[in-house]
Structure 1
Amino acid sequence: MIQLEGITKSFGSLQVLKGIDLIINKGEVVSIVGPSGAGKTTLLQIMGTLDKPDSGRIVLNGTEVNRLKEKELSAFRNKEIGFVFQFHQLLPEFTALENVMIPALIQGISASEAKKNAREMLDFLGLAERASHKPAELSGGEKQRVAVARALINHPSVVLADEPSGSLDTQNKIELHRLFFDLRDKLGQTFVIVTHDEELAAQTDRTIHIVDGMIK
């Protein structure tokens, strides 16, 4: 599913990743943990093709993404990868339904089909009655579930989550963590989650520890 070979990354004189080799299998829920500054988010961004490594090879769902041109890479990212961030990053002027539709519209799906798919996804996540609400009218937990729906709208092969429960209270955190495993079981997605949450890490199929830019 995901294969990283010899991934390095520096910012100026600071080497953040020092030769990462990692394989993540289809359908796994994997957590990446480590101290602040260890390189977790940088690794996730490279895995998600949002950033490029200085050296190394990335194969995602059979495609060597290093070889893709920028336009091809954008299309690949939109189709194959879903993202969930700590602060949902919903667009405030759009409703929950409209926010979820955006990746489908970018992919070129018709507005009517995108709306239908977005409604189904919100319904699946228990948010059907909140579809017409804007982010300011939603609770923290609801916003993050809308963000998950947006990440799933194009049925990506992998969902990458960066501290997804970091801004949630205890109950919403528990519900979001349960949701990831339910989605894996029902939809077959692979999840890679950067987290400081020890309880979430303990629940995942495998925990990757990064210290000083290396897997320990």
Structure 2
Amino acid sequence: MVEGKGIRKSFGDLEVLKGIDISIAPAEIVAILGASGAGKTTLLQILSSLDNPTQGEVFINNTAVHKLGEKQLARFRNQNIGFVFQFHQLLPEFTAAENCMLPALIGGIPQKEAEKKAQELLSFLGLEQRLEHKPGQLSGGEKQRVAVARALINDPAVIFADEPSGNLDSKNQDELMDLFINLRQQFKQTFIIVTHDEHLAEKSDRTIHMKDGFIE
């Protein structure tokens, strides 16, 4: 599903990733753990196509994403990858349903179809009473569920999550990981999660530990 070969990343003279090989299977939930500065977020950004490696190759569903042009990559990302971030990245002027719909509209899905899919996903995630609420009217856990629904709207093969529980209390952290597990069972998506949360990582299928730009 997701494979990185010989990944290196440097920023000037600072080498953050020092030759990483990683392979993640379809429908696997993998947690990437490590201290600040270990390189885990940089690895996630490269695996998810948000950044390019200084050296190495990245494949998603057998597509060499590091070789795609800008327009091809944007289209591939929209159709195959979902993102969940620590601070939700919801647009404050839009409702929950409108935030959820955005990737579908960008992908060319007709508005009525996108609205229907957004309503179905948000209802599946227990937010059927919050469709018309804006982010400022939602709790932290509700915002994160909207972000998850947005990540799912185009039926991506893989979801990348960067510290998704970092801004949540312990109850919502547990509920979020249980949600990921349930979604994997329902939709067979792959989840790659960067986290500091050992408890969250324990619920994943596999934990990858990083230190000083290497996988331990």
- TM over 0.5, yes or no? yes
Deviation, 1:12, is 1.1
In structure 1, what is the equivalent of residue 19 of structure 2?
19
In structure 1, what is the equivalent of residue 65 of structure 2?
65
Tell me if structure 1 keeps the 8 A contact 2:173–2:200.
Answer: no
Q: Is 1:7 aligned with 2:15?
A: no
One-letter code of the match for 2:157?
S
Deviation, 1:67, is 1.4
In 2, Cα distance between equivalents of 1:142 and 1:26: 28
Deviation, 1:174, is 1.0
In 2, Cα distance between equivalents of 1:77 and 1:20: 22
- Unaligned runs of 5+ residues in structure 1 are none
In structure 2, what is the equivalent of residue 123 of structure 1?
123
In structure 1, what is the equivalent of residue 150 of structure 2?
150
One-letter code of the match for 2:115?
K
SS of the residue 2:121 aligns to: helix
Aligned length: 216
One-letter code of the match for 1:210?
M
Could you tell me the percent identity over the aligned residues?
63
One-letter code of the match for 1:162?
D
In 2, Cα distance between equivalents of 1:174 and 1:82: 21
In 1, Cα distance between equivalents of 2:23 and 2:11: 25
- Unaligned runs of 5+ residues in structure 2 are none
In 2, Cα distance between equivalents of 1:107 and 1:148: 17
SS of the residue 1:128 aligns to: coil
Deviation string 1:5-53 (CA, Å, 9 cap, x unpaired) is 0000011111000001000000100000011001000000001100000
SS of the residue 1:173 aligns to: helix
In 2, Cα distance between equivalents of 1:180 and 1:122: 14
Tell me if structure 1 keeps the 8 A contact 2:48–2:160.
Answer: yes
SS of the residue 2:94 aligns to: coil
Please list, as runs of the form range in 1=range in 2, the aligned pairs for 1:133-172 lying within 5 A after superposition: 133-172=133-172
In 1, Cα distance between equivalents of 2:9 and 2:113: 40
| Alignment root-mean-square deviation, CA | 0.5
SS of the residue 1:71 aligns to: helix
Deviation, 1:128, is 0.9
